[in-house]
Amino acid sequence: MTTTHPEPLLSLEHAQKSFGAVHALEDGDIELFGGEVHGLVGENGAGKSTLVKILAGVHRPDGGRLVLDGEDAIFDNAKQSQAAGIAIIFQEPTLFPDLSVAENIFVGLQPLKRLRRIDGRRMRREAAAVFEQLGVRLDPDRLARGLSIADQQLVEIAKALTTNARVIVMDEPTAALAGTEVDRLFGIVESLRARGNGVLFVSHRLEEIFEISQRVTVMRDGRHVLTKPIEELTIESVIRAMVGRDMDALFPKVPTEPGPVVLEVDRLTREGVFTDVSFKVRSGEIVALAGLVGAGRTEVARAIFGIDRWDAGAVEISGRRLPPGSPTAAMRAGIGLVPEDRRQQGLVMDFSIERNIALASLDNIQRAGLIPRGAERSFAKDWALRLQLKYGKLTNPVWTLSGGNQQKAVLAKWLARKPTLLIVDEPTRGIDVGTKAEVHRLLSELATQGVAVLMISSELPEVLGMADRIVVLFEGRVMREFPRAEATEDVLMHAATGMVEEAA
Amino acid sequence: MTAVAEERKGVQPHVSSRALAEMMFRFRELGIVLALVLVVGATTIDNHLFLSATNVQQVLSAASIIALLAIGETIVIITRNVDLSIGSVLGISAYATGALYVHHPHVPLALVFLLALGIGVGCGIVNGLIVTVARVPSLVVTLGTLYIIRGIDGAWAGGNQVNASMLPDSFNKIGYGTIAGVPYLGIIAIVAVAIATYAMRTFRTARDFYAIGSDPDAARVAGIPVGWRVFLAFVLSGAIAGVAGAVWLSYYGSVDAIAGDGYEFQVIAAVVVGGVAIFGGSGSVLGAALGALLLNTINSALVVVNVSSFWSQALAGGLLVGAIAFDRLIAVRVAPALRTRRRVRV
């Protein structure tokens, strides 16, 4: 069973999927044979996750076809995908924390005895047998709550084995694993392959892809770029295929003379999330935190702003230490945070535009604890004008604004506080091109006025176009730091995928 | 099986703090029994009449009705919902039972309980449909039906009251009869709790309840028919409250429009004190029933040692807050262990 079959177990051809105006997947192709481990790589937003979710039955493709064992298949839900013999191991598995490990493996498919009662003994025995087969020691009776991510994945793999899945898709399975856990996982993947299963292995770590797969597919901007046997590829050629696109946007970056250090992050650590993160941001400087999804960028920003506590290290603003876990202290120290998810965290969607803009500056507007409507309005109007916000009426709820203008409203809210440090997390995600350029112009302008800007972005052109310095995170650690002049897509991608030895 | 046993030995030392927390989750029942023994012991030392047969029977009977209701409430809460209407359902079912006897004094017992069950199921269906089809949070839905059902009950009963004298003795006997000193009500509750406890461990549908409450999205992905299960939970809760209405009438002997008023909070308090997580996913019927027994025992103990009944309410509240704080404390202590990647065990 170790040889490749002539007929693929699964093939997805020209799959398309859009979410509103966003084309997440324009041409998704993948072909998986029994007895092969197939690596799938691509930048953030290349469409890998969408492709995986189509296979999982979570998303229904808008176009294209899915062929399983030579027959057309389309999944409306996860159940159908499972029934067709596809098992998905997500980066962060979704187990039921309150159920035992054995119950998690057999949920909905528990072995029964007379009167449709669950045969608990058989369930535990079979679970133990699967773990033995996998060569791991896990107590089937313990609750899933508190299992490490590695062990949670094992439970998912065990589930796949008990349902006799032939196609096993692993979406970034190693992102949260330690070294020995990765070795263990690879041993299991190898034995799955040897049994004739097809394994689709999605990973950001190219070394791992080269270690474990027989063939590799590269995706970029929602499209299939290439599929080749591993022998015909090098890490270099894969990276080139991943980033090779046109630098289309022009960035209105204005060179500035950096002033004194505003933000100093020193060996900041949050257990299991990020470790020993150190960097500085000077006044007038734009520093980008780059890295792949899950590298810990947003988490670092949240910690600096005091939303999450840190376990070790220190954050200083203009030489003064911030107490951990206090957004109030962070705001008082002059930090503003424009979060990644503006609908959930940046705006109160049902509040009016003027309310949202004034929300962080109520201290300055209030008179004896009351908020004069007139003062609030003229305050909001002033800032809306400065940011060229396009709105109908300031009293309209903020959700009536377009995505780009919502983002401007969030920016206005923080700029009105005259921050010394502005943290922007994915400032242009989901924003149309025109407004995008305006946001870039605005950030650049702020820097010239002496504000220190910490920008998190998944878009390499944005990082390269806007930042004075780039700090690349990889799995919760600072991998490298580049000055603007030394940064190219290639070296950034190397650092972001954990290739240390490839110095520029 | 020996391999598994060995394994457990090997696993424990690394995870002692978590294993302890897990034990606390699983053996909550033990803690309640301990508290029960403490309360009974301390009260008996103060006044030996506390353990007299009459008093014990009384406590047991009163606790039994709460324990019955707690079975249904536990099922609903485990699915991450709540049923606030049970007191009203019990009330209208009790009044309907009384009214049936007033108009048809010779109606067979089985038919009476069938009517009570039917009323409960009807109310449960209404709750379940609104929650699952219209997707309104159960807190709001059942708060609404709490008042609606109570309103219908009030309009129907008016100022009328049904007394024990209007009820046949065969029916009243359910309330006061005993076997070997144990009241019928106690036996009914014990049997019901035993069956429910077993069923909640043994049937797929029951395990689905836990899965839904543990993570509704994961449950959907795992192919569990979440809507149907939640609907079923409300029907079960309603059915139990309906039957409990007839049982309630047999014990108290008279019924008017306010029967069972405020029971929902006594029941939820018992369920939470009994270790059922208020956000679903974990807990047992046995724990909830023991919670009901503990709260009723404390009530009675305070009367025996001459403490005002106002204090007993405050104490029940204190226990409730204490139980939730305890759960939270465990969760907080477990969280850092959850975040830490363990490299020890391979």
| Cβ contact, residue pair A124, B4, below 8 Å | yes
**Residues on chain B touching A119 (C-beta within 8 angstroms):** none
- How many Cβ pairs closer than 8 A exist between chain A and B? 113
- Identify whether A108 is part of a domain: no
**Residues on chain A touching B203 (C-beta within 8 angstroms):** 116-118
Name the residue among B1, B203, B221 with its Cβ closest to that of A116: B203
| Cβ contact, residue pair A139, B4, below 8 Å | yes
CA R_g for chain B? 22
- Identify whether A123 is part of a domain: no
pLDDT at B13 over 80: no
Give tens-digit pLDDT for B62-108.
Answer: 999 999 999 999 999 999 999 999 999 999 999 999 999 999 999 99
- Identify whether A381 is part of a domain: yes
- Identify whether A4 is part of a domain: no
- Averaged pLDDT for residues B311-328: 80
Backbone angles phi, psi at A221, to 5 degrees: 50, 45
Could you give the number of structural domains in chain A?
3
Q: What is the Cα–Cα distance from A50 to A28, expressed in whole angstroms?
A: 9
- Identify whether A142 is part of a domain: no
| Cβ contact, residue pair B22, A184, below 8 Å | no
**Residue tagged 């803690």 (tokens):** B31
Same domain, A308 and A427: yes
The beta-carbon contacts of B20-23 under 8 Å, at least 24 apart in sequence, are B21/A146, B21/B330, B21/B333, B21/B334, B22/A142, B22/A143, B22/A145, B22/A146
How many residues in chain B? 346
- Identify whether A394 is part of a domain: yes
Sign of CA dihedral A448, A449, A452, A454: negative
Same domain, A411 and A448: no
Name the residue among B203, B217, B282 with its Cβ closest to that of A117: B203
Same domain, A319 and A398: no
Contacts of A366 (CB under 8 A, 6+ apart): none
Please report, rounded to a whole number, the percentage of residues in chain A having pLDDT higher than 90: 37
**Residues on chain B touching A180 (C-beta within 8 angstroms):** 343, 346
Same domain, A183 and A39: yes
Q: Which residue of B has its CA nearest to A138?
A: B7
Same domain, A438 and A464: yes
| CA-closest candidate to residue A312, choices A264, A268, A277, A266 | A268
Q: How much is the pLDDT for B285?
A: 95
Q: For A110, how many CA atoms within 13 A lie in the half-sphere containing its CB?
A: 29
Name the residue among A99, A146, A180 with its Cβ closest to that of B210: A99
Same domain, A197 and A59: yes
The shortest C-alpha distance from A299 to chain B (Å) reads: 13
Which domain does A323 fall in, by range? 248-334+423-504
- Averaged pLDDT for residues B307-312: 79
Name the residue among B8, B217, B340 with its Cβ closest to that of A271: B340
Three-state DSSP at B29 gives: helix
DSSP-assigned beta bridge partners for residue A478: A473
**Residues on chain A touching B338 (C-beta within 8 angstroms):** 145-146
Q: What is the Cα–Cα distance from B191 to B196, expressed in whole angstroms?
A: 9
Which helix (H) or strand (E) segment holds residue A388: the answer is none
- Which site among A95, A96, A100 would you substitute to test the B interface, given the most B Cβ atoms closer than 10 Å to its Cβ? A96
Identify the band that residue A346 occupies on the pLDDT scale cut at 50, 70 and 90. Answer: confident
Q: Which of A199, A227, A243 is the last residue of a domain?
A: A243
Three-state DSSP at A225 gives: strand
**Residues on chain A touching B21 (C-beta within 8 angstroms):** 146
Angle at B36 between CA B31 and CA B40, to 5 degrees: 150
Ordered by where they begin, the domains of chain B are 53-339 (1.10.3470)
**Residues on chain B touching A110 (C-beta within 8 angstroms):** 204, 207
Same domain, A483 and A396: no
Give tens-digit pLDDT for A146-180.
Answer: 787 788 888 988 988 888 889 999 988 887 777 77
- Identify whether A305 is part of a domain: yes
Same domain, A413 and A357: yes
pLDDT at B14 over 70: no
Q: Which residue of A has its CA nearest to B332?
A: A146
The shortest C-alpha distance from A116 to chain B (Å) reads: 7
pLDDT at A426 over 90: no
Per-residue exposure over B241-262, b if at least 16 CB sit within 10 Å of its own CB, e if not: bbbbbbbbbbbbbebbbebbee
Name the residue among A98, A139, A273 with its Cβ closest to that of B282: A98
Three-state DSSP at A54 gives: helix
Structure tokens at A205: 């770590």
Q: How much is the pLDDT for A167?
A: 94
Considering the entire predicted model, what is its pTM?
Answer: 0.75
| Cβ contact, residue pair B341, A176, below 8 Å | yes
Name the residue among A110, A146, A177 with its Cβ closest to that of B334: A146
Backbone angles phi, psi at B216, to 5 degrees: -60, -35
Same domain, A315 and A346: no
3-class SS letters over A409-431: HHHHHHHCCCCCEEEEECCCCCC
**Residues on chain B touching A77 (C-beta within 8 angstroms):** 223
- Averaged pLDDT for residues A441-469: 89
Same domain, A391 and A490: no
CATH number at residue A442: 3.40.50.300
The shortest C-alpha distance from B338 to chain A (Å) reads: 5
| Cβ contact, residue pair A116, B204, below 8 Å | yes
pLDDT at A261 over 70: yes
**Residues on chain A touching B208 (C-beta within 8 angstroms):** 108
Name the residue among A79, A116, A143 with its Cβ closest to that of B22: A143
Which helix (H) or strand (E) segment holds residue A13: the answer is strand A10-19
Identify the band that residue A1 occupies on the pLDDT scale cut at 50, 70 and 90. Answer: very low
Q: Which of A387, A418, A449 is the last residue of a domain?
A: A418
pLDDT at B4 over 50: no
Q: How much is the pLDDT for A257?
A: 83
Same domain, A452 and A383: no
Name the residue among A82, A140, A178 with its Cβ closest to that of B4: A140
Q: What is the Cα–Cα distance from A245 to A260, expressed in whole angstroms?
A: 37
- Identify whether A487 is part of a domain: yes
Same domain, A174 and A311: no
- Averaged pLDDT for residues B232-254: 97
The shortest C-alpha distance from A97 to chain B (Å) reads: 6
Q: What is the Cα–Cα distance from A307 to A324, expressed in whole angstroms?
A: 9
Q: Which of A401, A418, A435 is the last residue of a domain?
A: A418
Chain B: which residues have CB within 8 Å of chain A?
A: 1, 3-4, 7-8, 10-11, 15, 18, 21-22, 25, 201-204, 207-208, 210-211, 213-215, 217-224, 277, 281-282, 334, 336-343, 345-346
pLDDT at B157 over 80: yes
Residues A416, A386 contacting (CB under 8 angstroms):
no
Q: Report the mean per-residue pLDDT for chain A.
A: 86
